[in-house]
């Protein structure tokens, strides 16, 4: 499973990228607004820190402008993926940009039939928002399983990018359900390798090792 960071904090992204475990980054207009910085500057820094796919969102409501915005975003760096809304205009733009060789991420997916339409439009990634479904009293993880079944039925190559992740359990369940990728806030990414039993076991090992008075180096 590919692990992406959902963030525009370029400094934190660069730090976490040093682990070698960050496969890409996703951004959105809300995160750009939170950064209080020019979008182009933020994206350039992120693309310099992470060589994998970096999703940057087009914001227009009509397909011609979405396509134009997508082409401008794509010029920032070769690893930019153009993020598009799951609307008719967004799907039209997805099809056109895909035909031009631009990678796309169709976002705000809340149903398997929406995901089917995105795959037919040639989307590189589909972003089902599992946390928002859970917030609305629905089963976000069921959507991942449904999309996986649909894509496998017809051989679609669109990658399932689990988004709107609220906790570590969402990452585990997405992996079990067959998602290709998951995008998480940095805090959740850091929590993926943490466990109280690991900490306790390591403390015990270190105490016993210290008692031997030995050194490996």
Q: Bridge partners of 163?
A: 129
Rounded Cα–Cα distance for residues 115 and 108 (Å): 10
Of the candidates 141, 42, 158, 164, the residue with the CA atom closest to the CA atom of residue 105: 158
83 is catalytic: yes
If phi > 0 it is left, if psi is from -120 to 50 it is alpha, else beta; for residue 37 that is beta
Q: Which residues contact 172 (CB under 8 A, 6 or more apart)?
A: none
Structure token digits, residue 1 = 């499973």
Rounded Cα–Cα distance for residues 187 and 107 (Å): 22
Structure token digits, residue 148 = 């996986």
Structure token digits, residue 189 = 């990414």
* The one catalytic residue among 83, 92, 120, 159: 83
Structure token digits, residue 105 = 């991420």
For residues 123 and 101, the answer to whether their CB atoms sit within 8 Å is: no
Active site residues: 83
């Amino acid at each position: 499973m590919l692990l992406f960071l959902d963030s525009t904090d370029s400094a934190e992204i660069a730090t976490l990228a040093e682990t070698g475990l960050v496969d890409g980054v996703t951004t959105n207009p809300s995160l750009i607004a939170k950064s209080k910085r020019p979008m182009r500057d933020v994206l350039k820094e992120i693309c310099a820190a992470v060589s994998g796919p970096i999703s940057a969102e087009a914001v227009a409501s009509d397909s011609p402008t979405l396509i134009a915005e997508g082409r401008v975003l794509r010029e920032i760096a070769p690893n930019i993926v153009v993020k598009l809304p799951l609307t008719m205009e967004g799907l039209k733009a997805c099809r056109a940009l895909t035909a031009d060789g631009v990678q796309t991420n169709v976002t705000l997916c809340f149903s398997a039939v929406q995901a089917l339409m995105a795959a037919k439009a040639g989307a590189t990634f589909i972003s089902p928002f599992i946390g928002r479904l859970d917030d609305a009293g629905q089963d976000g993880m069921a959507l991942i399983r449904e999309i996986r079944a649909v894509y496998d039925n017809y051989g679609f190559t669109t990658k399932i990018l689990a988004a709107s992740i609220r906790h570590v359990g969402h990452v585990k369940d997405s992996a079990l359900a067959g998602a290709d990728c998951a995008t998480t806030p940095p805090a959740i990414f850091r929590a993926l390798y943490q466990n109280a039993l690991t900490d306790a076991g390591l403390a015990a090992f270190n105490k016993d090792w210290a008692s031997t008075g030995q050194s490996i180096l």
